Amino acid sequence: MTVLVDVATLCSIVKRVGITHFMAGMEKTMRRDFKRWREFDKCARVASHSKLGVIELMPISDSCRYAFKYVNGHPANTKIGVPTVMAFGALAQVDTGYPELVAELTLTTAIRTSVTSVMAARALARPDSKTMGMIGCGAQSEFQAIAFHALLGIKQIRIFDIDKSAMDKLSQHLKGYPELEVIQVDSAAQATKGADIVTTCTADKTWATILTPDMVEEGMHINAIGGDCPGKTELHVDVLKQAKVFVEYEPQTRVEGDIQQLPLSYSVNDLWRVIAEKEVGRESKQQITVFDSVGFALEDYSALSYLYKLVQEFNEGETIDLIPQLDNPKDLFVFVSDDADEQIANKHKAA
């Protein structure tokens, strides 16, 4: 039988664990998986682009499990009351191909993206970082703020969005974290001034320059998560040129990330090598670092694996007949034969 984790089930699990503990557990799982990067069969995600957005499939596997995510990105969706990003995914056994888990990944992706950002900042930002500037206060912003506060010790966050109501929404949600000082500002430049870490998380599918060189300060770590498809960027190209740039999976980031603005000959660095302690990340307090994050399938593999572990631990989720349960594996027709209803009913009674 396959376990189904829908939105209600995910929310139940997160509430049982607590959002910050859920994030911490996911980061631990993700760090473990990044350290064994070479064990995974990897490829860039398969994308279908349209004028209004993109729909993507993100597959990955190791010797034990195969995972994939279906995900979209449609910036105009909010105008019709639909999320910009929606996703679901699956986890299957490699030796048999049997699907163990089918899960919602819209909320889970928001959490895993924030966890990935923290994992990168832990490796690249100055260890004494306490302040963060955030440009963009959409659906991802609360998760980023909470993860950086709870897992990395950020004490103050200055936020900016061209939509004042989005800033109000974020401020309201963060009132549950009284030790995190939240300051609304009037411009992106004000948000970044004096910040140890800057997070850019805008949604528009455009060649944008949310962050310009004059806004970047010595020793800053930039967490660029909004540029994630061809023709969509957030950083001025000169910001990249003055920083040490880190990516998840270079073949994918070259097409989708902010580094699509750079020639292929321009050298970038693999985040996994820093996580696995094979290379040094930040080389000095003064160095500027950029995590050009587009989201990679290994992060979803980690998220699904962690979720499946909790599902089993708490006995959560609904078991579904996603795959026919056969007495004779060579006889599939029995399910559409004249006595199919009776046979299916008998199988349910036996289960």
Where in the sequence numbering do the catalytic residues fall? 228
Give the tokens for residue 206: 């455009």
**For residues 270 and 18, what is the distance between their CA atoms, to the nearest angstrom?**
32
Asked whether the beta carbons of 138 and 165 are under 8 A apart, the reply is: no
For residue 108, count CB atoms less than 10 angstroms from its CB and return exposed for 0-12, middle for 13-18, buried for 19 or more: buried
Task: Using alpha carbons, list the distances in angstroms from residue 306 to 42, 85, 303, 328.
Answer: 19, 21, 5, 34
Asked whether the beta carbons of 105 and 71 are under 8 A apart, the reply is: yes
**For residues 293 and 282, what is the distance between their CA atoms, to the nearest angstrom?**
17
SS3 category, 280: coil
Residue 299 φ/ψ region, left for φ over 0, alpha for ψ in the -120 to 50 degree band, beta for the rest:
alpha
**For residues 200 and 222, what is the distance between their CA atoms, to the nearest angstrom?**
8
Count of beta carbons in the 10 Å neighbourhood of residue 248 = 24
Task: Using alpha carbons, list the distances in angstroms from residue 155 to 61, 147, 198, 304.
Answer: 38, 12, 14, 30
Count of beta carbons in the 10 Å neighbourhood of residue 335 = 14
Kindly give, in sequence order, each residue whose CB lies less than 8 Å from that of residue 317, ignoring residues fewer than 6 positions away.
3, 4, 5, 9, 101, 311
Most distant CA atoms of the chain, gap in Å: 75
